[in-house]
Structure 1
Amino acid sequence: MPAFDDLIVVRGRGRVSALGAAPRAYVAGLPGFRNRPHGAGTLAVGALPPALEAAVGELRQAQPAFRQLDRTVLLAVLAARQARAEAGWAPGGPLAVSLGSSRGATERLERHHAEFLATGTTAVVASPLTTLGNVASWVAFDAGAEGAAALSHSSTCSSALQALGNAVAWLRAGMAERFLAGGTEAPLTPFTLAQMQALGIYSPFAADDLPCRPGAGRPSTFVLGEGAAVFALERLSRATRRAELAARPDAPPLCCLAGIGFGFEALNSKTGLSAGGEHFQVAMRAALAQADCPPAAVDAVVLHSPGTPAGDAAERRALRAVFGAEVPALTSNKWLLGHTLGASAALSLDFACHLLLTQTWPAPPPGTDLSAAPARPLRRVLVNAAGFGGNAASALLTLE
């Protein structure tokens, strides 16, 4: 029997990334990287394409209140609008929001800090517009939400799954009827790029030379990206779903969040992880147990795998510990759009939805350990995420 008598269904989803805003971009399997000047050279980054950049600019000018918002917030608003439109949700009503972001208002915080260093003063709006909470609150404002929570989460690169886990718990508890949940990040600032370089993990390869290579070993091929993905979530009883399918056998399938698990390992290094990925193991097992899903029933895993040798290897060891010799097919979208920090898990979940709903599989890039298309149909896909501080999270997405 399933662990729960109801389903948490994805009624709509939206995304913005280096691949654009259309899910069909995954089919082409063409990376969206660009070279960006940095210091004395250039770095490959997963920046928004021109058409989407124009959409961000138009949104910023759409109303006076948006003109001072951080880019992280604007990306979330764009993705949330897509999710609401696909779900058919009209503005207004009791709509809750739960969004994750590792760094929050990066662009505006750095700008206001630079202003303070130069002048000794800062703008009145510096504090309210650089708090993490303003990410969710502006998405709720744009959606016309009334009488429901607007929650922002930060657990480094697992932030989006933390936000989605909270939304799932609230829906199951009857504390909300509808949720917009996901993650957003706009970290392509000189200071953030410098931080990634200082860690010694940034890819040495140019944008046109497959700069992010999950599972390839050395050198490290981490590439920073920006983006957001948001999901329109509702609770649906299994009895109602069965009745829907009986009345309409041709009804389209639904992606459902069947389980979300979390793991933590306390290490002396806040940037490291154990060789066996203990936090990954705990998170994956928790997600599978919550969904009452045996490991053998999982068809594929969307890896966290950002191209860092130690992190990639630890995740693979954790997979072998959980799945044994029969590890599911492995895939990733980071080689296409980069590591978007707090948005990465949401974009991975969106990628998993695409795999399930289209039953397509991008050809793996050369030099990586990603899998060819699995022989069996995709029904259950596990999504992994992890970040600094020992946090990990996993979500099981099913096709119902």
Structure 2
Amino acid sequence: MISAASDSLIIIRGRGRVAAVGLDWAAATFQSRSLGSHTLAVGGIPEAVEQALQLLRKQTASYRQLDRTVLLALLAARQATAAAGWLPQPAPALGVSIGSSRGATGRLEQFHEDFLADGTVPAAASPLTTLGNVASWVAYDAGTAGGAALSHSSTCSSAFQALGNAVAWLRAGMAERFLAGGTEAPLTDFTLAQMQALGIYSPFAAADFPCRPGAGRPSTFVLGEGAAVFALEKISRAALHAERAQQPAAPVFCLEGVGFGFEAIGSKTGLSADGQHFQTAMREALWQAGAAPETVDAVVLHSPGTPAGDASERRALHAVFGETLPDLVSNKWRIGHTLGASAALSLDFACHLLTAQAWPPAPFPTDLTPAPTRPIRRVLINAAGFGGNAASAVVSVV
């Protein structure tokens, strides 16, 4: 583990995002999806992004067979690469680390449905549905020939598992650059039915702000799809100082720490009342950042809109920060819960907050902070998943 005493920093050169908000965090619209006799709200990508996704699918013959999860990752990775100025194609030293809770959900379900219908399975079924299929296609599309291609699955903290691994490789000098993030395309009937079977799905209509983090009962979990990818580099403090002198107006985001927490939970869908895994992850991320809790200006919550999960995270925050909490914000009421992509999309939202110094107030009763109470210079981001795992990241602007 590397603390702030290190001479090197991990910076975000560029980032890409695909989600229900499209290209603008100020605009998002949930959609309605029929499931049997029920109508559920979902955070699907907008039509303009859908057209870009389908254009990408048709662009290359081999891409026509890819799962939607992979294509979302390709779109986000291309945005991140372009924003980083890594075009033309980056050198082979580029690594790729992508998290996804479920991987190729749509293709796997379709292959299984076809098998039940006629008893046959195409030869491509296995390579197209393994989790490693996600990172390897991102690496192929990015033009890297010899860099690492790592896929991670640790339920809803998968993206931060991917970010943490990328950071470790960069700090160890095992790579020069990394594309890292998360992706998920879970809006299939079977996956929606699974979420509804848990008894946590929101009863509110798509037009009625169906996902309501911090609002209490009823549970307002809403499933979404999306991806976010970050172009990461290691740079010395001296080199960054010289760079900032040349480009003082351009914001540079520093990924200061990525921490993890785990706890043994008898119920794999449950979590401890005081969020022990959250506490461990937050403290570890702050230690890596060399940052005291009082230096955190805002927290992008995991907060999926489930009463038990929301309350556990709040108790963990009080254990780490005391009675006076940083500003509490969420993007899930804009895009839903994107499972393995959610942590990456929350990190992208944190970068947006550092730039805009503002966020839209939630239009429902909640404990979310309606507007910044202080300048936003450092943000902590939380994520957690089934099985008692949590992850936190700290990002600041330099």
TM (norm. structure 1) is 0.97
Aligned counterpart in structure 2 of residue 16 of structure 1, from 1, 15, 18: 18
Secondary structure in 1 aligned to 2:314?
A: helix
What is the CA distance between 1:247 and its match in structure 2? Answer: 4.3
Q: Greater shift after overlay, 358-367 or 221-230?
A: 358-367
Secondary structure in 2 aligned to 1:124?
A: coil
Paired with 2:368 and 2:200, the residues of 1 have a C-alpha distance of 20
Deviations 1:211-256 (A, max 9, x none): 00001111100000000000000011111112223345x3412111
Secondary structure in 2 aligned to 1:166?
A: helix
Question: What percentage of aligned pairs have identical amino acids?
Answer: 71
Secondary structure in 2 aligned to 1:167?
A: helix
CA contact (8 A) 1:187 1:225 kept: yes
Query: Aligned ranges for residues 134-283 of structure 1 at < 5 Å?
Result: 134-248=133-247, 250-283=248-281
What is the CA distance between 1:92 and its match in structure 2? Answer: 4.1
Matching residue's letter, 1:121? T
What is the CA distance between 1:359 and its match in structure 2? Answer: 1.7
- The residue number in structure 2 matching 1:382 is 380
Query: Aligned ranges for residues 353-372 of structure 1 at < 5 Å?
Result: 353-372=351-370
CA contact (8 A) 1:281 1:322 kept: yes
Matching residue's letter, 2:358? T
CA contact (8 A) 1:254 1:399 kept: yes
What is the CA distance between 1:37 and its match in structure 2? Answer: 1.1
CA contact (8 A) 2:99 2:158 kept: yes
Matching residue's letter, 1:329? D
Q: Greater shift after overlay, 342-351 or 116-125?
A: 116-125
Deviations 1:308-359 (A, max 9, x none): 0000000000000000011100000000000000000000000000000222
- The residue number in structure 2 matching 1:348 is 346
In structure 2, relative to structure 1, the CA distance for the partners of 1:247 and 1:60 (3 Å cut) is closer
CA contact (8 A) 1:17 1:47 kept: yes
Matching residue's letter, 1:65? S
Aligned counterpart in structure 1 of residue 314 of structure 2, from 310, 313, 316: 316
Paired with 2:174 and 2:44, the residues of 1 have a C-alpha distance of 37
Paired with 2:363 and 2:128, the residues of 1 have a C-alpha distance of 40
Q: Is 1:72–2:69 an aligned residue pair? A: yes
Long gaps (5+) in structure 1: none
CA contact (8 A) 1:99 1:135 kept: yes
Deviations 1:37-80 (A, max 9, x none): 11112100001111111111111111110011000000000000
- The residue number in structure 1 matching 2:330 is 332
Secondary structure in 1 aligned to 2:334?
A: helix
Q: Is 1:393–2:391 an aligned residue pair? A: yes
CA contact (8 A) 1:270 1:389 kept: yes
TM (norm. structure 2) is 0.97
Paired with 2:349 and 2:90, the residues of 1 have a C-alpha distance of 28
Q: Is 1:121–2:110 an aligned residue pair? A: no
Q: Is 1:81–2:83 an aligned residue pair? A: no
Paired with 2:73 and 2:134, the residues of 1 have a C-alpha distance of 8
Secondary structure in 2 aligned to 1:201?
A: coil
Matching residue's letter, 2:70? V
Matching residue's letter, 2:225? E
Q: Greater shift after overlay, 373-382 or 257-266?
A: 373-382
Long gaps (5+) in structure 2: none
Paired with 2:90 and 2:375, the residues of 1 have a C-alpha distance of 39
Paired with 2:195 and 2:306, the residues of 1 have a C-alpha distance of 12
Q: Greater shift after overlay, 344-353 or 50-59?
A: 50-59
Paired with 1:309 and 1:9, the residues of 2 have a C-alpha distance of 35
Matching residue's letter, 1:182? G
Paired with 2:380 and 2:303, the residues of 1 have a C-alpha distance of 13
Matching residue's letter, 1:82? Q
Paired with 1:367 and 1:246, the residues of 2 have a C-alpha distance of 45
Secondary structure in 1 aligned to 2:299?
A: strand
Q: Is 1:7–2:9 an aligned residue pair? A: yes
CA contact (8 A) 1:187 1:226 kept: yes
Matching residue's letter, 2:267? S
Deviations 1:239-294 (A, max 9, x none): 1112223345x341211100110000101100000000000000000000111100
Matching residue's letter, 1:150? A
Paired with 1:171 and 1:291, the residues of 2 have a C-alpha distance of 16
Deviations 1:132-151 (A, max 9, x none): 00100000000111211000
CA contact (8 A) 1:31 1:335 kept: no
- The residue number in structure 2 matching 1:54 is 51
What is the CA distance between 1:375 and its match in structure 2? Answer: 2.7
- The residue number in structure 1 matching 2:129 is 130
Pairwise CA RMSD: 1.1
CA contact (8 A) 1:92 1:146 kept: no
What is the CA distance between 1:361 and its match in structure 2? Answer: 2.0
Matching residue's letter, 1:5? D
- The residue number in structure 2 matching 1:41 is 38
